[in-house]
Each structure stands twice: as structure tokens, then as C-alpha cells.
Structure 1
Amino acid sequence: MVTLPRQEESDTGGHMVVCGDDGLAHRLSAELRGVYRQRVVLVHPESLRDERTDGELTGTASGFAVPPVRCVTADAPTKEALLRAGAHRATALALLYEDDETNLRAALAARRLSPGLRLVVRMYNRKLGQHLEELLDQAALVAMPGMDRSVLEASTTVLSDADTAAPSLVATAVADTNKVVQADGLLLRAAERPAPGRGEVPAPGLCTLALLTSTTTDPAGSDGSDASGSRGPQLLPDDATVQASTGRGMVVLEAVRREGPALPARRLSRRGAPLGEMLSVRLRWSLAGIVAAVLALTVTTTALTDADPVHAAYLTLLDLFSINDPALEETTTRKVLQLSSGLVGLALLPLLVAGGLEALGTFRTAGALRRPPRGLQGHIVLLGLGKIGARVLGRLHELGIPVVCVEQDPEARGIPLARDLGVPVVLGDVTEDGVLGTARVHRADALLALTSSDTTNLEATLAARAIRNDLRVALRLYDDDFATAVYRTLRSAHPEAVTRSRSVSHLAAPAFAGAMMGRQILGAIFVERKVLLFAALLVAGHPQLEGRTVTEAIRPGAWRVLALDTARPESRSPDLANSSHDEQHTSLLWDLHPGHVLRADDRVVVATTRRGLAELLGTPRPDSARLPGPMEG
């Protein structure tokens, strides 16, 4: 970043202001200038001046023409600091402080400075964030009564870095990728596929996003070749080009799904106990024996006496509970049957008492944390139930993926959620012997180390690899240099295993950047050294889309229509990137008929280049030179 003298501050406005006190502010500034070519003013405290941003290894932007970032030093986002940063003339303002109250105060001050300013606020408290969003939108509407509804929906966006990073962390654990876009609760990934051979059908998917330069993918996780003289990837090719392509790999858009058994729903209630745990196996077998004995006595009574089956069953139960008259005047057969029923009744009494005690004990402990079942396998071991771990746990449970959590602090944020969902939890220090074994890590599909300590995450990873050397691992690391050393060492020591380092701020930055661009941006995915944007657009006002069929609305190399929002305009989610629907309840239709005509009131999801999006929106954009893509670690 470049710090400009104060006298060089621009008075023209049109820039974006980012305020924050941690690595997310730096990441967002880099995202806005590198992907969207925006002029950025960064407001940060003095203590953050020389701090490295956290997380995943990224390429550098040296040699590429990107706008500089002007830095303003301020301990807090006061009115004076916002004025120095030119927030009153800016297009958008992001408030990214870790303290919710600080962001709330700054958002109210910024709305008074500029009623039409687009605000993006970071808040962990969802309920407070929803109220704040409604309040700030109402304030903007009062100050600007003629504001368009679409502009009002984008005027204030409240996001949580934990919520926005959770889908990518889940995709890393499930599908080993961080090239993820979320649309109406559905996780979509850009999956690289090798070039199809002669006569082979190209890899299935929602659509083909690009044809790659090379024919193979790099198992180490790089994003393609940048060799001199390379043709570069061909973005958004048409179907004919894909069918005719030979010798080139491709990037296919597909939904993130997990193959294997889903999480069984066997709970009596949200806080109830599993039916299988109410009674022990021995007790269940004993009760089954009693029922079988009663049926046998009923059948015998029907066969040896004149009683019909219903009357025979009635007599057997009376004898079983010892409430029938003695068969003194009856036949010997009837006397023997009565004595047999009485003996069965004597065995039933202790079983009923034992069953009642077991059920009572089970319900009393239903609020306690569950232990991992002995036969559990194919699950994900989640280390850490803090702010990030709790959100990831919720997403994994929504996808029906079995999870075992490990947490040292019994008062952690995610403990009540785990108890509520009935997810097994191991309380203990993950670095101690036996803790990972209790979590059944030797039978797990993946390990997600999401604690706030780099050393704890690394130590847990090494311990898990000692138990199972081919385990897929994704660990959260803060320091860049440390992440580089860890990734290279683990890749060399365990070449057959998949290791990924992830940073919450790096994963969350695209969602915050999309909100600053007006909330129509759902996300961005790098393809080698180029970038694809995913946007939700109203068809009205776009002559390239309105009145055209899906096939006619596609422009190869510029944009492609992917999905149609089937919800009514009044019931549509204002922000598809952060909606919480699941795959079964999504309103997006991905399998569009090529002859479907797009109407003015339709909303569509498109994949587009920066230049293509600028043409669709009717705004001039800088030349979209090739960008360095992030290298997965």
C-alpha cells in the first residue's frame, strides 16, 4: 500500500473508504483495488500500520497498474476521521472494527454525514445488525424521499465475517476448494476438470466457465500457468466452443455436495433425546422377549381352549398382571396357562421399573453434551467452537454432514448450539493425548482446525497426521510467513495428503467487497490470472437481456446467464449472497430452457467479466488487465 501526503488527497470523491482495526481492513482494500479497480482510503489505528494481514498465501500485485491506497491514521472512526477520509464524498464506506458498538456509532455518524452513502457494517450480533440495517435504511429514506427501492436495498448492508467465511471453510472441508460463490443458500464452486479425450463428453456441471491454458491441474493448489507467451484462459465460452475444444482443461461450475451418509434426524424434539438412547440394548431385548412370551401364551390359549383370539389375549393379560380370578374350577390346561402368565408377569415388573429409570435418566441428561458414537465414521472433526467455529458448525449441520467438535472452553460460543443440535462434543485440550482419538479422527473425512491460536491449530494438525497421515486438513493461520512455512513443510512431509491454510479475513473480503459494489455482486472467482464476477441483476433496463431468450442473452467472453429467480418480486431476498435458504428451498432455477424469454421484472444470476459487467451496468470501467490469482496454501 502507498501512503500519500495529505495535500494529495482527492477532492473529486467517488472513492471508497475502509475503516478497521484488523487484517480484514487490509484484505478488503486489496480486494477493492485489485479486483474492482477502485480508489480506496484506508482508516486504521497507528498500531496496525506495520501489521501483516492474516492468512492464506496470495500472489503479489507488483507490475500491475492498480490504484494506490491512501492511508489515514485514526484511533477510532470519529466524525473528524471520516471527514479526513472524505467519507462525505465517497461512494461506499466499510466499518470493520471488531467491536460491534464501535461500528454502530460510526454507522450512525456516517449516515448523518451523507444520507446517500452506501454503508457496509461488520457485526457479529445478527439481531442487532438487522435492527441497525432497518434503522439506517429508514434514515436514508427520510433524508432522500425519492430514493429508488433498489438503491435503498443496497444502501446499508450488515455482514459478519464469520457468516461470510463459513461457506468457504465448509467447501474446503467437503470439496477441497475455496473458489466458492453462495447464491440463495446454495454453495457453488469452480471445479477444474482435465481436458476430455476424443469421443468423451465434457465434465457435467451447471455450465462451463472457462477453458484453461493447460490441460492439467496442479495438485499443490496453484491457479494455473502464467508462462510467457501463454494463450491464457478463455472465459465464458459458448457451448459450441466447449464441444470443439481439445487439449484444454476446463473450469466447471457445480454445486457443493457431499457424497455419503447424511446426518440422521432421530431426535424427539429440538432439545430431546435420541430414541435409541432412551432404553439400553439389553432392556430392549428383554422387553421384546416379554412381548413374544405374551403372544405365545395367547396363541396357546386360543388353540387349547374354546376362547377366541381377542378373549384369549384378554385372559393372558389379566393373568400377566395378576388381576384375574384363580382358575380353581378350570381345566388343568387353563391352570398351567395361568401360572405361566403369572411367571411372565413377575419378570415384567422389574423390567418396567428399569425402563422407567433409564428413560428418566436419559431425559435428565438430554441437555448435556453428547459423546461421539463408537461406530461413527466419514465425519468432520471441528476444532474450536468460537465465533467462527459456531458458524461453520451451523453450515455443516444444514448440509447434513456428521460433525464431532472439540473445544477446551465449556463456555465457548458454539457449545449451546452443539447441545441444541445434538452434535457430539469432546471437551478438552486438543493438544492432550487421547482427545483426537476420542473424536474418532482416525475414521474422519477431514479435520477443520479453527481455533484462534496458530500454534494450537498446527499442533492439532501434526497430532492428527500422526494418527492418520492421509487425512485432509484445513487449518486457520494468522501469520503469512508462518502459513507459508507450515504449508510447504506439510506438503513435503505428507505429499499424499491435502493440506490447506485458510484466513477468515481473506475468505470474508470478497463478500464485503461485493456489498460495497452495490450488493449485486455475489462473489468473484479467479481463473488462472483472470477473474470472473457473479452478479444478480434485474433484467429491466438492460437491453442486452430484456426480451431476449437465454441463448440470445449470452455473449461469449463477456457474460452468461446462469439462473433465474422464480420468486415473486415482492418476496425476493434482497441479498442472494447472504440468504439462508437451503438447496431444497432455493428460488433460483439453474436448469434454464434455452428458449426462455427474459422479462423486465425477472432477476437473473450472471457470470461476467469486469468489462462485461461494466457494459451491462452502463458504467465505464478501467481496462481489465490480467490479475494475479491467489495461490492456495
Structure 2
Amino acid sequence: MVVCGDDGLAHRLAAELRVVYGEQVTLVVPPAGRRVRQPVVGRARAASAALLDRMVNAARGNGDSGAAERVVEAGEPTEAVLAEAGVDRAAALALVYDDDETNIRAALTARRLNPRLRLVLRLYNRRLGQHIEELLDQAAALAAGATSDGSADSGAPSTVVLSDADTAAPALAATALAGTSKVVQTEGLMLRAVERPPPGPGEVADPGLATLALLSATSNDPAGADGSEGSGEQGPRLLPDAAAVRDATGRGTVVLEQVSYSGASGTASGLTGVRSFASLFSRRLRWSLAGVVGCVLALAVALSVLTGDHPLHATYVTLLDLFAINEPALNQPTGRQILQLLTGLLGLVLLPVLFAAVLEALGAFRSTSGLRRPPRGLGGHVVLLGLGKIGARVLIRLRELGIPVVCVEADPEARGLAVARRLRVPVVLGDVTQEGVLEAAKVHRAHALLALTSVDTTNLEAALYARSLRPDLRAVLRLYDDDFATAVYRTLRAAHPQALTRSRSVTHLAAPSFAGAMFGRQILGAIPVERRVLLFAALEVAGHPRLEGRTVGEVFRAGAWRVLALDTGAGTEDSPGAGLVWDLPDEYVLGSHDRVVLAATRRGLAELLGRRSREGEPRVP
């Protein structure tokens, strides 16, 4: 396996492949002066950090430079660098540079060097990614068709385009909302998992469709007792068996509650148009206009009663008096003269109201190209810090859920500002570490704080300052290192025991999906359980002795993997998940023609989906 990158995802992915999957890895990174700080992945996975140290020593000539511990230092993934990394004889190549153009250029070069190479690209632009995936797959198919041995795997795509932002955004958005489900969504298929608190005395926990995990043993904080990987007996227990679920006391659960399929609403466009028109005018102005209309109707009714005219004619005469274009009622009865004076006075009141409406409408149209300020009285919202790649995706996800958001961004050129303008989300421009910025975002009345900047200390400082303004605020921090996250969690938990604190690592959430894609597996997504990750994957049963010819009950392995659904292939573009059968009986025998959706831990997936040529022994060290 070859991994090329210039940030923490490359190091995390290399450790994932080597330690979890037991693969030989060549890591292509920038020179030492430009290399980013490597992630610390906790005591439970200290071997990965040691692996990276051995890689660096091997690259410097201080140790064995075997293929499993090889590092190539290069600023750009040129053709010479890729050839030196052994792309021409590699099984898979992951290009996870932070720049889309760099990844695309390297992918085109690698496909020319090795047409059968499995490519995994990290691209932020999803539409461009679809076109690049089709182009590279077409090139691979043409190259495979030109050979006569037929060794190319025609059933599995040789190019997979992923985005760490898209992978991590649902988990980050769900973590910021108490009671909000964790969702994995891909190509219209939606898997929904929810956290449930421990059952009370005499109550029986509902397992839903499947119990995915037992959370840390705390009754007052069912989302976890630790901020790290959760090693030890008090950590989460993934994919427990029925006996473990039955015997668990005082532990929350993560269950697969329902499975639905996303689709566009038929009334959404009409409602959007109504909201857009109403947003042109303030609430106070709308009430003023309604009051003027009511007064006009009242005067028209009074005129109709007084003169005996038809109501429509009386309304017409009233409007003429309102706009001062009617003849004076000099020789009319006194009542008619009084109504005309009142109508003229109402017309004078209407002029500033109409003028204010014009100004507000022009200001609303002008503000569509600017940034909105947080409105007065706003409360119960989510304060989102950072509008980079990750923050922009999380913002879109929160707005899809209908959650009010106020963003804080220090860079006026951040790519997420365009998204905030389009969604008309209030934004506070300023450094979050400066006094008054969080106050402007109404953090003291917010529901949660979501700190997603790329600097751990900035996220921590923002959380500490927000807690000084509101001690019970729910805080979710994007933290790079597991050990640092553990220390931060324990300190904040001790200082603010009544508040919920969570930490998430984008690279930790994204690395399993990238690693699975390098084996040609269709990784649907990942759901975080505290700081562990549960993967959802779809794969063919054929060629896997642990699945083929066995029943669903026999296949299930507690703590490793569990079959959730059977893909019958009956789905369509309108309902892509229609061909999935979720209530499989334990007696169902999996055949070689079947395709299943399963949930697995990272080590379980590594053991289940190792190289088929060496399936006799588990690949996990």
C-alpha cells in the first residue's frame, strides 16, 4: 500500500493500514521541515506511533528500511516520486493531499504507471470527484480489456473518491445536538443510529433493529465516561451479543432504530418561495401593513353602511380618498366628510410605511451578497467556530436538520463564508480568542458550541471562555491527538460536571473509510461511539470463508462484525435502498451470489476482509 499526503490524515491512514490491517506501507510525505505533527493515537494504539517513528528512522538510515516501514520524502508526488514509492507494483494508492489539484494530477500519473492500481482520492469538490472517478475507471477498464489474462476485477471499481469533510460532518453535527441521531448516508441510503440512556428499574431496553454498542458505564452521562479511545472495562463495547446486552446494567446503548431513504419533498420549493418573500420585510413592518389594510376595510364598511353603496364601490371610493385623488365631500353629509378626513389621515400614515417597505426590500436584496448579523433575542442555537472545509460541511448538515446556527470565522476569505451567505446564516467575523466575539455570537444563550478550527489550542481556549460565560454549555471540540483529548475531557469534566463535553478527530473518523476503500470495499460510512468508530460496509459474500455457506447467526461475531441487511439488487435510482432486506432471520444461509451490508469494528473489518490469498490466518497482529 502507498499513502501520499501532507497532513495528519496521511499519518493516521498509514498507521491504520499497518497496525490494524497488517499491510506493508510506503508513506510519501513532505521533507522534515514541512512535515506536520504526527497524531498521537492513545495508549491502546501506541504501536502505531512506534511504527511511524520506525518509518522516520528507516528513511534516515537508522534502521531496517524494509517495505513495511518505508518512507519517501518529497515535496510533490511527481512521476519520479511515485515510481520510487513503487506505485507500478503496488496494490493500492491513497492520495490524501489537502489540495484537490495535487491529488488529481498524481492520480492521472499513477493510472498511467499502473493501470490496475486501485486509487483512493481525497477530493473536496464532490461534483468534480464524480467526473474524475468515472474518467479513471474508464481508463482502468480499457487497460484491463487490453490484457488477455482477465485478472482485472471487473465487478469492483478501481477508483474511489472520498472526502474527509463529508465523512466527518454527520458525526460532528450529531454530536453537537443532544438526542440527535447519528446518521450514515450515501447515495440515498440512510442508516440512523441513536443513543439511549440506561433503562430504569424494571424496564427492558428496546434493542431496535440491532444493538450496535454498549456505552461507558455511566447513568448520568450515557454518551461516554472518557474522551479517549475508551480502552479498558469502562470503555464502550461495540457489537455486543444478546447476553451482554441483557446483562448490562447502568449502561447506555447505541441502537439502529430505523432505516429510511432520503428524498426531495414535493412542497419544499413552494414553501421556500413563501419564506423568501416574507423575509423581505420585518415582522414589525408586516404588522404595520396589516393594520393599514384593516383600517381601510373598516372605513369601507362604515362608508357602505352610511351611504348605502355597494361594498365594492364603497371600497373603491375609500381608496380614492386614501390616495387623495377623490373630489372633496363639500356638499356631502357630515358623516361622509368625517370618513373622508379619516381616510386622508390614514393615507398620510401609509406613506412612511410604504417607504419603509421599499427600503427594507432593497436592503434585503443587498444583504444576500453580504453576511447577516445574529438577530436580537436569538437563543437555542449552535455556535459553530471555523468555516473551513470541515466547518462548511457541518454547517450544511446542521441547516439540513433545521438547526439555527451562528458562525464565527476569523478569515474573511474562508471558503465556508460563501455557504453561509447562500444559506443566510448569521456570521461573526473575528478572532474567537478575542473578548467580545463569542458574546456577539450569543453563546450565553446557545444550545451548544462546536469548535472546528484546525488548531487544538484555539478550540480549547474557545471552549474554556464559553464555559466561563455559561457553565452548562454543551461543548464539542475538534482535537487532533487522542491523549490530548483525554486530558482535556477529564479536566473539563471535573471543572464542569453538569455540562456535556465531547471531542472528535476528523482524521480518526475519516481514516477507516479511506483504509477500507484501499481494499476495494464499499465503506458506506462510520458512526462514532465515544472516540471509537463503527464502520458500515457493503461487500460480496463470494470468496469469504467466514461468510459464504454460513447462516447469519453463525456469521455474527461479538465485538468484530455483524450482518445487518441483504442486498437483493432490486433498488432503483428513485429508491436506491429498496432492494435491502433488514429483518434477516438467523437461519438464513449466505450464498456466493449474495451481497450484504454489515457493521464492523476496524479490527474486525481487517480480520474479515484481509487479502483473500492469505485468509487462513488472521491478519491482526
TM-score, with normalisation over the residues of structure 1?
A: 0.77
- Counterparts of 1:390-469 in structure 2 under 5 Å? 390-469=392-471
Tell me which of 162, 166, 170 is aligned to 1:167. 170
- Counterparts of 1:254-403 in structure 2 under 5 Å? 254=256, 275-276=278-279, 278-279=281-282, 281=284, 283-328=285-330, 330-403=332-405
Tell me which of 226, 251, 255 is aligned to 1:220. 226
Q: Distance in 1 between matches of 2:272 and 2:410?
A: 27
Give the AA of the match of 1:43.
V
What displacement does 1:108 show?
A: 1.8
Q: Distance in 2 between matches of 1:414 and 1:232?
A: 34
Q: Are residues 1:36 and 2:36 paired?
A: no
- Give the unaligned 5+ runs of structure 2: 52-65, 260-267
Q: Are residues 1:473 and 2:479 paired?
A: no
SS in 2 for 1:30: helix
CA gap of 1:448–1:270, structure 2 versus 1, over 3 A, is farther
1:99 is aligned to 99
What displacement does 1:328 show?
A: 4.8
1:3 is aligned to none
Task: For residues 135-184 of structure 1, give each alpha carbon's deviation from its aligned partner in whole angstroms, at most 9, with x where no partner exists.
Answer: 21111011112879984652111222222222232233225999875555
TM-score, with normalisation over the residues of structure 2?
A: 0.79
Tell me which of 206, 211, 234 is aligned to 2:209. 206
Q: Percent identity?
A: 57
Are 2:2 and 2:93, in contact at CA under 8 Å, matched by a contact in 1?
yes
Are 2:227 and 2:485, in contact at CA under 8 Å, matched by a contact in 1?
no
Give the AA of the match of 1:117.
L
2:115 is aligned to 115
CA gap of 1:621–1:357, structure 2 versus 1, over 3 A, is farther
Q: Are residues 1:17 and 2:17 paired?
A: no
Q: Distance in 2 between matches of 1:215 and 1:492?
A: 15
What displacement does 1:415 show?
A: 0.8
What displacement does 1:93 show?
A: 1.0
2:618 is aligned to 623
Alignment RMSD, CA only?
Answer: 4.6
- Counterparts of 1:515-594 in structure 2 under 5 Å? 515-523=517-525, 533-537=535-539, 555=556, 557=558, 560-563=562-565, 571=573, 587=577, 592-593=582-583
Q: Distance in 2 between matches of 1:232 and 1:390?
A: 30
Give the AA of the match of 1:450.
L
Q: Distance in 1 between matches of 2:205 and 2:103?
A: 48
Give the AA of the match of 2:618.
D
1:579 is aligned to none
Q: Distance in 2 between matches of 1:31 and 1:285?
A: 60
Worse-superposed segment, 203-212 or 470-479: 203-212
SS in 2 for 1:500: strand
Are 1:514 and 1:522, in contact at CA under 8 Å, matched by a contact in 2?
no
Give the AA of the match of 1:623.
P
Tell me which of 237, 252, 258 is aligned to 2:241. 237
Q: Are residues 1:89 and 2:81 paired?
A: no
Task: For residues 59-86 of structure 1, give each alpha carbon's deviation from its aligned partner in whole angstroms, at most 9, with x where no partner exists.
Answer: 3245999999422323143344434433
SS in 1 for 2:319: helix
Q: Are residues 1:606 and 2:595 paired?
A: no
Worse-superposed segment, 112-121 or 419-428: 112-121
Q: Distance in 1 between matches of 2:388 and 2:245?
A: 48
SS in 2 for 1:157: strand
2:70 is aligned to 71
Task: For residues 282-336 of structure 1, give each alpha carbon's deviation from its aligned partner in whole angstroms, at most 9, with x where no partner exists.
Answer: x444333322222222222232332232232223223323333444554444344
Q: Distance in 2 between matches of 1:604 and 1:571?
A: 19
Task: For residues 523-557 of structure 1, give each alpha carbon's deviation from its aligned partner in whole angstroms, at most 9, with x where no partner exists.
Answer: 567889998642113578889999999x7797464
Q: Distance in 2 between matches of 1:50 and 1:346?
A: 71
SS in 1 for 2:395: helix
CA gap of 1:246–1:270, structure 2 versus 1, over 3 A, is same
Give the AA of the match of 1:346.
L
**Greater relative CO (CA pairs within 8 A, separation 6+):** 1
CA gap of 1:408–1:589, structure 2 versus 1, over 3 A, is farther
CA gap of 1:87–1:208, structure 2 versus 1, over 3 A, is same
Are 2:215 and 2:254, in contact at CA under 8 Å, matched by a contact in 1?
no
SS in 2 for 1:409: coil
SS in 2 for 1:571: coil
Worse-superposed segment, 507-516 or 476-485: 476-485
Q: Distance in 2 between matches of 1:64 and 1:479?
A: 11
